[in-house]
Amino acid sequence: MDKNTLMGMLLMALVIFGFTWLNQPSQEELERQRQERERMEQAEAAKAADPGNLTLDSITGAEAAMVAATVRELGVTDSATHTSTLRLEGVSLSVDGAGTVGGTVTTTSGVVEVAPLLANRLDGMSMTAASEAVANLRKALTTAVRYKGFARHLAGDSTTVRLENEKLALDLSNKGGVIARAELKDYQSYDSTAVTLLDPATDSYGFTLTSATQRLDTREFYFNPVQVNDSTVVMQLALGDGATWNIRYTLPKDSYLVRMDIEQEGMQSIIPSSVATMDLDWHQKMRRLEAGRVFEERNSALYYMYPDGDVANLSENKNDKKEVNQQVKWVSCKNQFFSAVLMSATNFAAADMDSKMLEDDADFIKEMNIALTLDYSASKARPASMIFYLGPNSYPVMKAVEKQVFPEENMHLTKLIPLGWPIFRWINTLIIIPVFSFLGSFISNYGIVILLLTIFIKIILYPFTYKSLRSQAVMRTLAPDIKAINDKYPGQENAMKRSQETMALYTRAGANPMSGCVPMLLQMPVLVAMFWFFPSAIELRGKSFLWAKDLAAPDAIISWSQNIPLISGTFGNHISLFCLLMTVTNIIYTHSTMQTQNQSGMPGMKWMMYLMPVMFLFIFNNYAAGLSYYYFLSLLITIIMTYAFRHFVSEDKIRAKIAENAKKPKKKGWMQRKLEEAQKQQQAMMREQQRRAGGKKN
């Protein structure tokens, strides 16, 4: 090979190398080629899995046009820039005055711009990201079409607005337009935190409307809060074309009441005229507020009232549910000392309620779900008005509130306070509560208030107590004579004769063994009324006296880890000192009473009488310290009165009075006549039995 040939070949190689070097792809072109190969491989894989899927899914021209039209129709338009925006879940869209569509779509791999997605310029995107972005955009458009004007409120930033007065502090959330938190300023829970009746972490409520294409739950929407004044906030949903749906909240000064009005305009274009009801769902997980959990559980339940004033409730002690297919005036998630009550101006058309115990939850006691139905019309400017009562179960407070809510109706809110059967409730509401409130108005120490209340009750009941003590004195004076009768007529065969002679003795002496029992029975309604009153008196909550830190809770002096279960309930995990003192005093009182009674023929009765006070120890150990303290004082005062009566009333005078009565002619009493008739019948039967026995021997 000559020199020229070799030089020519070298020049040709240099030319080819230079051409190749000059035309090699850039890094961007190499990356684009790699992504194209990846899309082709994914497309081939999709084709192999589904032979009908021959092309990569992408936005069509019709869909791109639909995006712009949807944003213009359902979005929010800035009057200055003429730019419309629409935010949906994971999607933010905008259309400017020139009709250019912008925005982003969020995918698992990042944020994708909308403009290249609509133009099918998928350069720089993997097929997975592009497919997910297309799917999310289509889903958002479908949601927007379904929700119509509500679609613009499906996304937003959560904010709260505060309303408060001297008693309540409310946080209103724009998400759902609801009262997210409700705190009572004057009360604290057992762990020194504020008493919270509504909490965003556990509680919620919302309205559900039905349009032609969708069930609309207001908890899904972000409202626009408008502060009207210091006491009123309006949560607005502007739905386009002049249609609005708002919730107005009004919190008056110095009140536990919150008014909630549904206001609307132009809803006929969204809600069909055939829709005649609106649903309200309320969920509450009731927080534990008291130190004495056992008694708090017993006094917490879901309550509701019929329009006729009858108040009913679900079970306090077990899971329960109730479907009420008739009108209901109000429903309440009622705790031992606090209640959240929702009252309707026009009644709820129906209610479906459910309550579950949370025995294994240290911080919560019950979970409640309430589904309510309200009458609704899209043409009404104010289709529904309701009032929340968020406050204490205080009889004076609730009694005053009953007159404020709907003056033409009696809301019977005080029936949320357990005061016993009607007779006991009358005693509590007509006597005990007014006196207790009067004393508490100028005495801050409620231990002293209970002492004065006990003395007041003893004064009222003194005529009955005196009658009972005098009867005991008479019976004590007659005890030797009764013993002589028992000795004279021993044995079961002389029981009738013994009873007859005893009744004759009572008649001659002018005594009646029942005269001591009747006064005691007449005092029983007051004792039972107090049994209901003290555990329900919120005035005692958190008030200390002597060693008791809280008169509304057990005053434990010894505690252990586990509760002791009993047949009738739970003894608890402690011993209450006031309850122990009450038991000891009751035993002393029983011993004092037994000295005046004739127990011959009934030996078991003596032990039964001593067993009762011991049983009270197990019954009252978990009750409020104020109740045990009252019973302790009542028994102590009764014992003092008994010994004072014995000291000042001479038995010689009583015996002289008995002797004087014995001289007077006495008409046989009904009991004595019956005993004589029974004795004659018994004697006749015995003679007949003896005659028959003699006849058989013959």
The model's pLDDT over 600-645, given as tens digits with 9 standing for 90+, comes to 545 555 667 777 778 888 888 888 899 999 999 998 998 888 888 7
Statement to judge: residues 86 and 109 lie in one domain: yes
Which of 123-127, 166-170, 228-232, 593-597 bottoms out in mean pLDDT, i.e. has the lowest?
A: 593-597
User: pLDDT tier at 188 (50, 70, 90 boundaries)?
Assistant: very high
Number of domains in the chain: 3
The pLDDT of residue 47: 44
Give yes or no for residue 430 having a pLDDT over 60.
yes
Q: Which two structure tokens, joined as six digits, stand for 378?
A: 């899209």
- Full DSSP string of 621-665: TTS-HHHHHHHHHHHHHHHHHHHHHHHHS-HHHHHHHHHHHHHS-
What is the C-alpha R_g of the chain?
Answer: 42
Residue 50: pLDDT band by 50, 70, 90 thresholds?
Answer: very low
Average pLDDT score over the chain: 82
Kindly report, residue by residue over 663-679, the tens digit of the pLDDT: 555 555 555 566 566 66
Rounded to 5°, angle at Cα 495 from 493 and 500: 135
Query: Is 208's pLDDT higher than 90?
Result: yes
Looking at the fold, whether 376 and 523 belong to one and the same domain comes out as no
Does residue 605 sit within a domain? yes
The pLDDT, as a whole number, for residue 408 is 81
> Is 308 exposed, middle or buried, given 0-12, 13-18 or 19+ CB atoms closer than 10 A?
exposed
Whether 1 maps to a domain, the answer reads no
Ramachandran assignment for 365, one of left (phi > 0), alpha (psi -120 to 50 degrees), beta (any other): alpha
- What is the CA 177 to chain-centroid distance, rounded? 22
Q: Are residues 98 and 209 in the same domain?
A: no
Of 153, 187, 205, the residue at which a domain comes to its end is 153
- Give the tokens for residue 230: 């210091």
* 230 phi, psi to nearest 5 deg: -65, -20
One DSSP character per residue, 403-466 reads HHH-TTS---GGGGS---SHHHHHHIIIIIHHHHHHHHTT---HHHHHHHHHHHHHHHTHHHHH
Which range, 184-188, 603-607, 689-693, is most confident?
184-188
Mean pLDDT computed over 369-385: 95
For residue 260, is pLDDT > 80? yes
Average pLDDT over residues 549-565: 79
User: CA-based angle 325:328:334, to the nearest 5?
Assistant: 115
Q: Kindly state whether residues 333 and 200 are assigned to the same domain.
A: yes
Domain that holds residue 138: 31-153
Neighbour count for residue 213 (Cβ, 10 Å) = 11
User: CA 28, CA 26: separation in Å to the nearest integer?
Assistant: 5
Query: Which residue carries 């004590």 as its tokens?
Result: 476
Average pLDDT (16-37) is 56
The answer to whether residue 11 sits within a structural domain is no
Furthest C-alpha separation in the chain? 175
Last residue of some domain: 351, 384, 418?
A: 418
Give me the mean pLDDT over the 295-318 stretch. Answer: 93
Task: Note whether 253 and 361 are same-domain residues.
Answer: yes
Asked if 185 contacts 198 with a C-beta cutoff of 8 angstroms, the reply is no
DSSP track, 587-631: HHHHHHHHTTS--TT-HHHHHHHHHHHHHHHHHHTTS-HHHHHHH
500-513 residue pLDDT tens? 666 766 666 656 66
Q: What percent of the chain has pLDDT over 90?
A: 40
Whether the predicted pLDDT of 23 surpasses 80: no
- The yes-or-no verdict on residue 441 having pLDDT over 70 is yes
| CA 234 to mean position of chain CA atoms | 27
**Domain stops at, among 103, 124, 153:** 153
377 within a domain of the structure (yes/no): yes
Shared domain check, 133 and 182: no
Q: pTM here?
A: 0.79
Residue 694 has pLDDT above 70, yes or no: no
Structure tokens at 237: 């949903």
548 lies in a domain? yes
Residues 213, 137 share a domain: no
Selection from 13-22, 314-323, 550-559, 600-609 with the highest mean pLDDT: 314-323
Contact 188, 289 (CB under 8 A): no
40-49, 430-439, 608-617: which has the minimum mean pLDDT? Answer: 40-49
Burial of 239 (0-12, 13-18, 19+ CB in 10 A): buried
Asked if residue 693 belongs to a domain, the reply is no
CATH of the domain at 229: 2.70.98.90
Q: Check whether residue 146 and residue 189 sit in a common domain.
A: no
Q: Are residues 340 and 489 in the same domain?
A: no
Question: Rounded to an integer, what distance in angstroms lies between the CA atom of residue 408 and that of residue 362?
Answer: 43
556 domain residue, yes or no? yes
Nearest to 197 by CA among 169, 217, 222: 169
Q: What was the pLDDT predicted at 205?
A: 96
Residue 666: what pLDDT? 55
Q: Is residue 23 part of a domain?
A: no
Q: Between 302 and 66, where is the model more confident?
A: 302
Say yes or no to pLDDT of 541 above 80: yes
489 lies in the same domain as 618:
yes
Same domain assignment for residues 406 and 453:
no
Is 472 in the same domain as 514?
yes
Query: Is 43's pLDDT higher than 50?
Result: no
pLDDT for the residue 670: 58
Predicted local confidence at residue 20, as pLDDT: 59
Per-residue pLDDT band at 446 (split at 50, 70, 90): very high
